[in-house]
Structure formats: C-alpha cells, structure tokens
Amino acid sequence: MAIPIYALVVSFRTTPSGGWHIRLLSDVVMRSVSAVVVAALIAAACTSPANDADTEVSDETSTSTTVAEIEASEASTVAAADVVDELLGSLSVEEKVGQLLMPLVFGQSATDLSDDDRENNLADFGFETPAEIIEAYHLGGVIYLAANIDSSEQVRTFSSDMQRVAAESSGIGMLIAVDQEGGRVARLEDEVTAFPAADVVGPDPERVHESSYVTGQQVQQQGINVVLAPVADVRQDGDAFIGDRSFGEDPDQVASMVVAAIDGLQQAGVAATVKHWPGHGRTSVDSHRTLPSIDTARAEWRENEAVPFEAAIDADVALVMVGHLAFPGLDTSARPATVSSELIDGLLRDEFGYDGVVITDALDMGALDDIPQAELAVQSLQAGADIMLQSLEPQQAYQGLVGAVEDGEISQEVLDEAVGRVLRLKYDLGLLQPSS
C-alpha cells in the first residue's frame, strides 16, 4: 500500500484550537511503506531528544515556562480578537452573509468548466464559474464532492485558484471542506491513504490519532483545510443508519476515539468537525431521505449520545455539525436540530459551553424538504448555526439571509456573532490577510 512520506522539515503554527504544534512541510513523495513507518516518522518529528540536563528542570523554571505560555496564549487571543473585530467592522451585510455559506459549486476548476457545469452553476447561482460565484457572493467556503474531484494535482490547483480569487476580491481566505472519514465515506482517493471505517480503526486511540494525523496532512497537501469528521454518534443497535461510521456502542470508548481523531486532524493543521449533533446513532432512518425522530429522555441522552460531544468540546474541536434530527425529549417542539434554538443555542452553546463554529449538515437533504431553502437558512442562523452547508438553492439562501437582516428578522448582533466565529476560525487557519 502506498503511503505518503513527508520530509522532516518543520515549522510552528497555531492550531484551530489555539495551541501550538510541529508541522511537517514537504511535497508528497509516494513510497511503499507500512503504517508503522508513518507512525515512526510522526513520532520522530514531534519528539525532541532529551538528555540528563533537559530532564532536570527546576520547579522555578517549569513554573516560569508555564506562565510564559499562558501569557503568549492570552496575547494571541487578544490579537485574534482585534483582527476579527476590525475586519468585521469593515464588512457589508452582503459580505457577512457570504461568509456563512458553504455551497457545492459545479466543476473541477475555478474557470475552465464543461458546458454542463457552467449551466448548473448558472441555474444555482446566476454565474457560470466558481471564480465568478466567489466574487459575486463573497463566498466564505465550499465543499468538495466526488464531482469536484479528479486527481490530487487537479484538486490542488482548484483549491489554490479559488483561494487566490477570494484573496484578491476580499482578502479573506476560504474554508474548503471534504468528507474524509475513512471507509465508505472518503471523497479523495489520489495521494491519500485509504483508511478503514471508524469501527475498524478503533478502539485503539493511538491508531485513530495516527490515521487522522496522516489524513490531515494529506488533505492539506491538496488545499483542503476542513475535514468533516470525526463521527461522534454512539451506535445504539446493529440497525442504526450510521453503521460502521461510528466508533462503537460504548459512549466512553467513542469519546476517547473522537478526541484522538480531533487531536490528530488539528495537530496536522486542519479543522476537525465532530458530527452529527445531538446524535445519529439510535435510528435506522436515513436523514438524507426523511427526518428521524428519536424518542429519548434527556437523562438517557445525557449518559449516551452526549458523552462524545462533550469530550469533543473539551478537546477544542473547531466545528460541530448539527444533524437533521428531531429529539422531542430535548426539544418538545420536535423541530429538526438544524432549526432548533433549544438544541443549538440552548443546549450546545449555553449548557455545554461550546463557542466554536456550528455548521449544518447539508441543507439539500430530504429530512428538511418541508422547509423552503431561503427560510431554512434564516431559521438555521436564528437557531445558532454559523455555516449553512450545501443549500439546495444557494442563491435563494443568500438572498433570504440578506433580506432577513435588512428587515430586522435577524439582528445585526446575531449576524456579527456568527460571522465573528467563522472569522476566528479562519484566523486560526491563517486565512486572514493582515491589515496594511
């Protein structure tokens, strides 16, 4: 099996969670080696040799180092807030709304497209090419699906060209996301390792961490900075729709694997996305087709589904994806979590203390067919979501959000809070150009 080896050239940068890590920088070189060698390289890159003098550190030195690290972290947080606040104050309503959208654009190039792709983009956006769409909608991100992907070189060029267009038009880089869980959900195939599904890689946290780290490095080489993984759903029975995408049936074990995956991805410099809040593991219903309603009491949910998500939040996961799931025991209205302020603002943010980016699952899924796309985007933002993923009608979603802000249906405060969270993530990923 061919696995990429990275030359051991290192640099330091902040992770999406605000920490520091060593990063390997090199073009990918394909070699036939075992995963053990990859693990050894990772360990070698992230471990510095110690001698007796290194190990005999006084309490005073240790304390002063800790204080210095805390002060550096606080200074970094203040700097990020200053940059984000300054940028936020300079954006129009239209530019802010664009930062909240992560649609599917058609084609495998920013400008060079087939006639069919041009027609599809024209139908959805009113513009023919991704480059034009980015400029017109001030687009904050895109998701890659199989139709966007041909080869690693094509994806690299596509990503680079879209980032260039975004930088030239707004100075704000784009979030480029892909589903790369492993197993049956893995969009990229060229120059990436085909890791097995979650329930095969687990229950070994070290193996999960290593596979996630390698995945993060490999997708980053193709210009991708958001991985829509890991799955935190606790599988409750053998018929659950989530199947082998779950790390298992034990909440604590799933939590351990989820944290290992998050750490691996984010140490590799990409943002991890834990999904599908508040838990898709107890139903056999496919939310791509219809809305699952999960009849679970709050206390039972708290002891099962909630456990891996709480662990992910403690691990500073960059994004939480909300599933299209009704939980009457948590929200008596039985509304989809996607548009439930009880489940996002109330439970996820207020009770669990999550202050990162919340992204919806794809808004073109059958579970939400009863809600018009423009209204769906508005309701999702009102409920506490920050990024609207893959709307069925992106032009209507954009116009609906802009109109709702202008009409006062969405307050400027709610809009700014959502955009601010997205911009802070982009700051962590190095996607904001410094002001002149």
Q: What DSSP line would sit under 48-108, residue for residue?
A: ----HHHH---HHHHHHHHHHHHHHHHHHHHHHHHHHHHHHHH--HHHHHHTTEE----SS
Catalytic choice (161, 179, 361, 386): 361
CA distance 428 to 231: 23
* Secondary-structure percent of the chain, ordered helix, strand, coil, rounded to 5: 45, 15, 40
Tokens of 10: 């290192």
393 Cβ partners below 8 Å, 6+ apart? 124, 373, 374
Do the beta carbons of residue 390 and residue 359 sit within 8 Å? no
Catalytic choice (85, 112, 252, 288): 288
Do the beta carbons of residue 187 and residue 250 sit within 8 Å? no
Q: Which of 108, 106, 145, 110 is nearest to 122 (CA)?
A: 106
Helix (H), strand (E) at residue 260: helix 251-267
Residue 326 DSSP SS3: strand
CA distance 333 to 341: 11
Q: Which of 230, 323, 340 is nearest to 283 (CA)?
A: 323
Measured over all CA atoms, what is the biggest interatomic distance in the chain, rounded to whole angstroms?
68
Do the beta carbons of residue 291 and residue 368 sit within 8 Å? yes
CA distance 347 to 245: 25
Q: How many CB atoms lie within 10 A of CB 83?
A: 18
Burial label, 406 (beta-carbon count in 10 A; 0-12, 13-18, 19+): exposed
288 is catalytic: yes
Q: Which residues are catalytic?
A: 288, 361
